[in-house]
Structure 1
Amino acid sequence: MEVRMLNLGLEVERLRPQLTEAIEGVLASTQFIMGAPVKEFETEIAAYTGAKHAIGCNSGTDALMIAARALDLKEGDEVITTPFTFFATVEPLLHLGVKAVFVDIDPETFNMNVDEVAPRINSRTKAIIPVHLFGQAVDMDPLVTLAAEHDLAIVEDVAQAFGADYQGNKLGTIGDIGCLSFFPSKNLGAYGDGGMMLTDDDEMAEKLRMLRNHGARKKYHNEVAGYNSRLDTLQAAILRTKLPHLDWCNARRLEAATYYSEALAEVEGLSVPATRDYGTHVFHQYTLRVNGGRRDELQESLKVKGVSTEIYYPVAIHKLEPFADFGYELPEAERAAAEVLSLPIGPDLTREEQDYVIQAIKESLS
């Protein structure tokens, strides 16, 4: 049997009639840039999340970049974030000459250890970027308190956790700006690139809209150097079609994750994902720890048996070349990079496939 990490072909077949209708509607309109589906999708995302404003853009990476620009981050400023994330979280900081200040992670959730944030705050600190990794919320209350005390902005990186809650509030609506990614593999994925920015601040929303469109509020009246980062109409139409199915898809992911954990919890050498009761987990990834230095061995064995796996992430960001001279020692992030292994998961994953994966793991570790 072959088990893929995520089988988008099954999703396409499940939604083909609705997707075809949406795509043909865009073709008929010929409004390929900023057509009606873009505004309609923004309105629907705002309603789904409870955010006052939802502003579409070209990608989750662009969402983070535009957010950093809208906050006027500049060379010499510092931003506190996690070293265990995708590189896009810190790319805007490198572009702007802003120093990324890393705190270590919670070894159970892989999210930033919020207890380590306060000691890192100084007069140069301007913002905090919590990353809701693998689908689970960072504990936001301590960060909100710190941000209020020190006049800091919070930019939530929700690329992997769209649809998850923290104490009843959708992730992306707790900080000043929430950044979403619609990369195809995400829980709500486009069939190309796409992103979104959430905010409740009217003035901030205006800046975000301006920056995504060449720095212009009015066509040909450019105020600053912005970006060509509009969400295109075709992707908006596809995402509108998929949005009503998001909660079902996330529930299916949770069911699959629960099934894995119940079967693997007692397997020697493995640690199953931890969850926290302050929020929901939408399991963008189901990520194990493989203890005893056997992660790579297990991955290779599963590959031979036809089971796809991924390592998110094999190197903690503070160990990458742009940050190598900073001298960070963050042992939990480094240990996670050596031990994590993500299994196939998605709304269309079958019990038969899961049983095969589970048995393959047990055989490989026996």
Structure 2
Amino acid sequence: MKIDFANLQYQYQLYKKEIDKAIQNVLDKSNYIMGEEINILEENLEEFTNAKYAIACSSGTDALLLALLALNIKEGDEVITTPFTFISTAETIALIGAKPVFVDIDDKTYNIDPNLIEEKITNRTKAIIPVALYGQPPKIDEIVNIAKKYNLKVVIDGAQSFGATHNGIKDSCLGDLSITSFFPAKPLGCYGDGGALFTNNKELAQKLKQLRVHGQNKRYHHKYIGIGGRLDTIQAAILNVKLKYFNDELLLREEVAKKYLKKLSFKENIILPFVEHNCTSTWAQFSIRTENRDILQARLKEVGIPTSIHYPIPLHLQVCFNFLNYKKGDFPISEKISKEIISLPMNPYLTEDEIDYICEKI
């Protein structure tokens, strides 16, 4: 048996007629940049999340960059985040000249540990970027309380968690800003790059809409230094179709996760994912841990089961962050988990037989 990790082609075939029609409609109008589908998507995203304002943009990375620009984070400022995430989270901080300050993670959720944040706050700290890793929101109440105490901003990196909830509230509504990614392999993905920001603050929303078009408040009048951060119209059209079915797909992902958890609960030498009682996860990844990861990954590959490692090297040990002067041992939980984590196939369309096969081979 050969397993598909994300099964994007199967999903496309399910919605093919609607997606093809939506793309053709854009082609017929030839309105490829900031076409009407962008406004429709933003309205649909606002309705889905209950956030007051959704701002579509060119990628999850650009969403993070736009968030930092909107909050006036600048050279010399410090932003607290996690070393156990995709590089975009810290990369965007460094790109604008600010300093990423890492805090180790919780060993169960793999999200930033709020208990370790305060000791890293200095008079240069301006914001906290907690990551909703693998689809589960962080302990946002504790993080927001710390932020209020020190007058800091909170930007939730929800690149993997669009649709997840914390205490019944979509994580797009939490923090001063929240971002997400529509990279094709995300739970809600387009067919190229794409992203969005969410806020309940009208002024921030207006500023973000200008920043994504080079800081323009009207054509050739530039209020801010911004970026070319627009989502293209074809991607918006695709997302408008897929968003209609997204709630159903989240439920299917949850069912796949439950089956994995049940069937793997008796396996020795592995640690299963953990979701807090007051959170839901989008299950962007189903990641287990084992000290025998390399052996397991090789054997699963031999029998047609693809896996991935999210993430093999914590950010503080990446060469590009040498200037921060971190060293091995500074964030022991992140380092340990990076050596043990392995992601299994996860998509809404995994069959019972496929899940049985994967779990049997594990």
Fold shared by both chains (TM-score > 0.5): yes
Where in structure 2 are the equivalents of 1:1-366 lying within 5 Å? 1-291=1-291, 294-324=292-322, 325-328=324-327, 329-361=330-362
CA distance in 2, matches of 1:323, 1:21: 45
Contact 1:139 1:278 in 2 (8 A): no
Query: 1:124 deviation in Å?
Result: 0.8
Determine helix, strand or coil for the equivalent of 1:241. Answer: helix
Unaligned stretches of 5+ residues in structure 1: 362-366
Structure 1 stretches (4+) deviating beyond 4 angstroms? none
Determine helix, strand or coil for the equivalent of 1:156. Answer: strand
Query: 1:235 deviation in Å?
Result: 0.4
Query: 1:224 deviation in Å?
Result: 2.7
Residue correspondences, number: 359
Query: 1:322 deviation in Å?
Result: 2.5
Contact 1:157 1:172 in 2 (8 A): no
The one-letter amino acid of 2:326's match is G
Contact 1:67 1:208 in 2 (8 A): yes
Contact 1:215 1:223 in 2 (8 A): yes
The one-letter amino acid of 1:151's match is N
CA distance in 2, matches of 1:234, 1:211: 21
Determine helix, strand or coil for the equivalent of 1:274. Answer: coil
| CA displacement, residues 304-342 of structure 1 (integer Å, 9 cap, x when unaligned) | 111000000000011101323522510000001000000
Determine helix, strand or coil for the equivalent of 2:47. Answer: helix
Query: 1:217 deviation in Å?
Result: 1.1
CA distance in 2, matches of 1:96, 1:231: 21
Query: 1:127 deviation in Å?
Result: 0.2
CA distance in 1, matches of 2:226, 2:209: 10
Contact 1:76 1:97 in 2 (8 A): yes
Query: 1:225 deviation in Å?
Result: 2.4
Determine helix, strand or coil for the equivalent of 1:149. Answer: helix
The one-letter amino acid of 1:71's match is L
The one-letter amino acid of 2:231's match is L
Superposed CA RMSD in Å reads 0.9
Query: 1:158 deviation in Å?
Result: 0.6
Determine helix, strand or coil for the equivalent of 1:237. Answer: helix
The one-letter amino acid of 1:161's match is S
Determine helix, strand or coil for the equivalent of 1:90. Answer: helix
| CA displacement, residues 97-150 of structure 1 (integer Å, 9 cap, x when unaligned) | 111111111111111111111111121110000100001110100111111111
The one-letter amino acid of 1:186's match is K
| Aligned twin of 1:364 | none
The one-letter amino acid of 2:281's match is H
Query: 1:285 deviation in Å?
Result: 0.2
CA distance in 1, matches of 2:48, 2:275: 23
| CA displacement, residues 60-114 of structure 1 (integer Å, 9 cap, x when unaligned) | 0000001111111111111110110000111111111111111111111111111
Determine helix, strand or coil for the equivalent of 2:355. Answer: helix
CA distance in 2, matches of 1:244, 1:333: 37
* Paired-residue identity, %: 42
Query: 1:172 deviation in Å?
Result: 2.0
Unaligned stretches of 5+ residues in structure 2: none
CA distance in 2, matches of 1:143, 1:175: 9
CA distance in 2, matches of 1:307, 1:316: 25
The one-letter amino acid of 2:169's match is N
Determine helix, strand or coil for the equivalent of 1:288. Answer: strand
